[in-house]
Amino acid sequence: MLEKMEILHVEKVIEEFETMTKDAENVQRETLKKILEENGSAEYLQNLGLNGRTDPQSFKACVPVVTHQDLEPYIQRIVDGASSLVLTGKPITTISLSSGTSQGRPKFVPFNDELMETTLQIFRTSYAFRNREFPVTNGKALQFIYSSKQSRTKGGLFAGTATTNVFRNSQFKKAMKVMQSQCCSPDEVIFGPDFRQSLYCHLLCGLIFREEIQLVSSTFAHSIVHAFRTLEQVWEELCVDIREGILTSGITFPSVRSAMAKLLKPNPELADLIHRKISGLSNWYGLIPELFPNVKYIYGIMTGSMEHYLKKLRHYAGDVPLISADYGSSEGWIGANINPNVPTESTTYAVLPNIGYFEFIPLKENVEEQVHDRGDANILSMEPKPVSLTEVKIGEEYEVIVTSFAGLYRYRLGDVVKVMGFHNSTPELKFICRRNLMLTVNIDKNTEKDLQQAVEEAAKLIAEEKQEVIDFSSHVDMWTDPGHYVIFWEISGEVSDEVLKECCNCLDRSFVDAGYVSSRKVNAIGPLELRVLRRGTFQKVLDHYVGLGAAVSQFKTPRCVGPTNYKVLQILCDNVAKTYFSTAF
Ligand code: AMP
């Protein structure tokens, strides 16, 4: 009886979601009212002349659309311990470091209890829909989750990545329990100071509890693939630990060692079984169900820049379904995946109209062209007005603007989404790409998505040789005249020069944007350059971000490295093994 009471009432969650989404416009209006009432005393809002008005029209007339850069002075004051209420009605005590992979340095954003509550609401909503299709029983989850370094700011606030702030919150554990998705690893592993050691222990815990594991998850799919690539390297060591019941000496942190000692008992049968199972695999295909026979699905964000890892993840997953997790950011959540059955690449996110106030800037090709290469502020002044949540149109692309319960008002998230349909009256969004990630030399424009498609196309050539692109990035080299695109690849093994030359040509041909093709034809853009990196280079990039305070849980490989991101550019350039120039044009 007690057990039953602790389980989330999924039908109730779905019912609430249905009611709310049938009335999305009103719920949005009410949500804005609530945000403005709760935070009306904040200096930022006080100065904008709202004078207590909370309706969308007044809000849009008084409050400017901003970028993170615009808010930085306000956020910095909070970080430094401002005594007044700067952005919110209640003091901010915690700061999130967003991954900021593209800019090369983490950004600060406020975190508060309201944001935590909306996080849990998103988790509950998608879980409810997911559980209808793929019910989990009271087992464990192998979660590759990690904490970032937690620090105190100058003003005494806690600072960590958003995922760390969530994992550390006592509500998180409770929520995972009622969703029957509790992490199989002890807290000391999740919050261990060294992510490599934590990863090793996560794997070990997963194997110890292999029969009980119901799902394998991480925030972003990259971490799952990274984990199983690591398992390929360390599985024999893991088997030795299980056989002897003694943790490898490579795990050095006393807190992690003592937590693991409680779980690890000599178990030669289990070690033999795992050894046999892994030895029986062909090229690691189906590794996950082989090791975890009761796993129901694999869960993590799989769209956008994570799509690259899907091929490898499918290989490890065999016939276990892959389900993309929800859509959000350190700044706040946006939508939940309520159609877990659709193929991962087609995942959409239904916006929850009560977790923030949402607006959308329509992205029309002609406007983009006019404003090409200008600063953010200019882009906005020439762009169409943002539309509200219920005004978006199916088939159109938009940039998302968020107003949150944590002190961000009309904040440009920088993500491009496409409206694929409506669930009741709330839109279902497909994540397209980051807006500011753009390869451009002159009149050409290639987005993160275009880059990914080009890489996918060229990678087919090395797939014929049983090799894969482990990870990739890009850069625009303007030091040459004319400038040209540089694509960085890390490949799993040896590939002949001949094939790589062909890959380079294929990449060049795969950017089909008219501006690119015409510029290439007249040599206004130079031949595309493919730089093949030494194995382990992207691990160094990851280490670099972790060193800056990022968490592996939130890591996204920067798909385009800007000229000011010196450190990452240097890591990439210092590790080039081979270089090819396209002869496609
Ligand atoms: P962070 O800065 O670490 O908070 O990451 C937030 C960013 O990750 C978002 O602005 C998106 O660009 C990306 N992201 C988050 N959720 C998804 C998703 N479901 N699909 C694709 N990209 C996502």
- pLDDT tens-digit series, residues 480-534: 989 999 999 999 999 999 999 999 999 999 999 888 998 899 888 999 999 999 9
This prediction's pTM: 0.89
Mean of pLDDT values over 440-460: 91
Which tens digit of pLDDT belongs to each residue from 123-140?
999 999 999 999 998 889
CB 126 within 8 A of CB 161: no
Beta-strand runs (E) in 236-329:
297-301, 322-324, 327-329
pLDDT at site 100: 59
The Å distance, Cα 327 to ligand 1 centre, comes to 6
The Å distance, Cα 567 to ligand 1 centre, comes to 23
- What residues does each domain of the chain span? 8-89+350-363+383-432, 134-150+179-319, 446-579
Q: Atom 13, ligand 1: which residue's CA is nearest?
A: 329
The Å distance, Cα 425 to ligand 1 centre, comes to 24
CA distances from 325 to 129, 194, 224, 339, 350 (A): 12, 25, 13, 11, 12
The DSSP element (H or E) to which 201 belongs, if any, is: helix 195-208
Q: Which of 123, 301, 333 to mutate to test the pocket of ligand 1 (most atoms within 8 A of CB)?
A: 301
Q: Would you call the peptide bond into 135 cis, given omega within 30 degrees of 0 as the criterion?
A: no
Q: Which of 119, 432, 556 to mutate to test the pocket of ligand 1 (most atoms within 8 A of CB)?
A: 556
Torsion over CA of 443, 418, 551 and 436, rounded to 10 degrees? 20
Residue 382: count other Cβ atoms within 10 Å of its Cβ: 11
CB 195 within 8 A of CB 218: no
What are the φ and ψ backbone dihedral angles of 494, each rounded to 5 degrees?
-75, 135
The Å distance, Cα 554 to ligand 1 centre, comes to 9
The two structure tokens encoding residue 19: 């009611």
Ligand 1 atom showing the smallest separation from residue 96 Cα? 4
Q: Long-range contacts made by residues 34-38, C-beta under 8 angstroms, separation at least 24?
A: 34/405, 35/356, 35/357, 35/403, 35/404, 35/405, 38/88, 38/89, 38/90, 38/114, 38/405
Q: Which of 327, 430, 452, 545 to mutate to test the pocket of ligand 1 (most atoms within 8 A of CB)?
A: 327
CB 176 within 8 A of CB 182: yes
Q: Atom 7, ligand 1: which residue's CA is nearest?
A: 329
Does the pLDDT value for residue 368 go beyond 60?
no
If we measure between CA atoms, which residue out of 379, 522, 281 comes closest to residue 67? 379
pLDDT at site 99: 63
pLDDT at site 514: 86
404/370: higher pLDDT: 404
Does the pLDDT value for residue 458 go beyond 50?
yes
The Å distance, Cα 328 to ligand 1 centre, comes to 6
Residue 560: count other Cβ atoms within 10 Å of its Cβ: 21
Which tens digit of pLDDT belongs to each residue from 181-235?
899 999 999 999 899 999 999 999 999 999 999 999 999 999 999 999 999 999 9
If we measure between CA atoms, which residue out of 402, 538, 398, 520 comes closest to residue 468? 538
The Å distance, Cα 380 to ligand 1 centre, comes to 22
Ligand 1 atom showing the smallest separation from residue 413 Cα? 10
* Pocket around ligand 1 at a 6 A CB cut-off: 98-99, 162, 301, 303-304, 327-330, 413, 415, 431, 434, 554
Mean of pLDDT values over 42-58: 95
CB 141 within 8 A of CB 117: no
**pLDDT bracket for residue 98 (50, 70, 90):** confident
Which tens digit of pLDDT belongs to each residue from 375-401?
444 444 556 799 999 999 999 999 999
**How many degrees, rounded to 5, is the angle at CA 522 between CA 518 and CA 528?**
75
